[in-house]
Amino acid sequence: MNGQVTAPGKIILFGEHAVVYGKPAIAIPVSGMRASAWSESSKEGLTINALDIGQKFKLKDSNNQFSVLAQSVLAKTNFNEPNLTINLSSKLPQGSGMGSSAATATAVCRALSKHLGVDLEANEISELVFDAEKIVHGTPSGIDNTVIAYEMPVYFIKGKKPKTFEPGREFFLIIGDTGIEASTKKTVSKVRKNWQKEPGLMDGYFDEIERITENGKKAIENGDSKMVGEMMDENHDLLNSIGVSHEELDKLIDIAKDAGALGAKLTGGGGGGNMVALAETKSEQKKIYKAITEAGYRAYQTSFGEE
Ligand code: MEV
């Protein structure tokens, strides 16, 4: 048995979907919720054993992200197929907007490279996982694999080197789960169809989201939580306009706002999955968390920025 390796989940604070069209987005890692992988020797080649979904993938399978990822790692490092089973388990709900597919792929990448004795840099892991993400998401922007491989807040534009930035204070977040599993591939393709039908209108929405992301970044750097909250609200309205919200997301957002959230929005692909709300203080965060869980939803508290 070979020591456990892990990868965090992620939350997009601003700019999801618009980021697929070349606009900037901001994402943070959720270090308390992780995917884990550990390996043990086997007699018959490489198997990835996804324990949570009860599925096993062999190296030669080509229609899943884990086999494609393992093939790329072996090609890059010039190793033959090892006799190895990589066990995989994740605390991240699938189809929830928290980067479950990129986090599990990153954990598998780390387990395999560790077994091979190869030290891959964050940017190399991110690139390998990006190729595997195409199997799951179709046309991913690359933001999920980036924030997860680097495990730090990023300002991201597709095809460019990700930038990090310094939050001006600690920001307290509550993640609320609709419990509705949603496919990012489907919502991304829905947005593309809407964009093909009405390019002028959709480009206008993406420009607005870009303005919000830039203002949101400045507000994070200035430690201006009220402004960050306002930008989150505006971002959610625009995500509604481009067609990726869901009535359960809107319900959760109302609960969070009624309990005192400074702002709230869906996060990730939408169509279900999670929303993220911002609280002014740790005790406000607890209050909002309580309101969401008492309404019967799963919730999670996290924070970013200096403590
Ligand atoms: C998914 O976490 C974020 C989207 O913008 C898709 C992507 O960037 O690949 C919806």
State mean pLDDT over 44-67.
95
For 170-184, how does the pLDDT look when each residue is reduced to its tens digit (9 = 90+)?
Answer: 999 999 999 999 999
Burial 209-236 (b: 16+ CB within 10 A, else e): bbebbbbbbebbeebbbebbbbbbbbbb
Contact 172, 281 (CB under 8 A): yes
Report how far ligand 1's centroid is from the alpha carbon of 268 (Å).
6
pLDDT at 113: 97
State mean pLDDT over 235-262.
98
Q: Tell whether ligand 1 has an atom less than 6 A from the beta carbon of residue 167.
A: no
Contact 194, 183 (CB under 8 A): no
pLDDT at 95: 84
Kindly list the domain boundaries of the chain, sorted by start residue.
5-164, 171-304
Report how far ligand 1's centroid is from the alpha carbon of 283 (Å).
31
Report how far ligand 1's centroid is from the alpha carbon of 139 (Å).
9
User: Of 131, 144, 177, 233, which residue is the catalytic one?
Assistant: 144
Whether residue 124 has pLDDT greater than 90: yes
Please list, in sequence order, all residues whose beta carbon lies within 8 angstroms of the beta carbon of residue 217, skipping any fewer than 6 positions away: 14, 24, 26, 155, 165
Between CA 16 and CA 26, with CA 21 as vertex, the angle to 5 degrees is: 35
Report how far ligand 1's centroid is from the alpha carbon of 78 (Å).
31
pLDDT band at 136 (very low <50, low <70, confident <90, very high): confident
Residue 144 known to be catalytic: yes
State mean pLDDT over 128-133.
94
5-164 maps to which CATH number? Answer: 3.30.230.10
> What is the Cα–Cα distance from 300 to 233, expressed in whole angstroms?
20
Compute, in degrees rounded to 10, the torsion defined by CA atoms 162, 75, 108, 27: 10
Whether residue 2 has pLDDT greater than 70: no
For 208-235, how does the pLDDT look when each residue is reduced to its tens digit (9 = 90+)?
Answer: 999 999 999 999 999 999 999 999 999 9
Pocket test for ligand 1, best of 14, 19, 183 (most atoms within 8 A of CB): 19
Share of the chain above pLDDT 90, in %: 93
pLDDT band at 55 (very low <50, low <70, confident <90, very high): very high
State mean pLDDT over 7-32.
97
**In the block, residue with structure tokens 């977040």:** 173
pTM: 0.94
What is the average pLDDT score of the chain? 96
pLDDT band at 63 (very low <50, low <70, confident <90, very high): confident
pLDDT band at 50 (very low <50, low <70, confident <90, very high): very high
Share of the chain above pLDDT 70, in %: 99
pLDDT at 94: 85
Which DSSP letter does residue 190 get? H
**Domain boundaries 171-304, CATH class:** alpha beta
pLDDT at 52: 94
Q: Tell whether ligand 1 has an atom less than 6 A from the beta carbon of residue 144.
A: yes
Q: Tell whether ligand 1 has an atom less than 6 A from the beta carbon of residue 15.
A: no
Whether residue 307 has pLDDT greater than 70: no
pLDDT at 76: 96
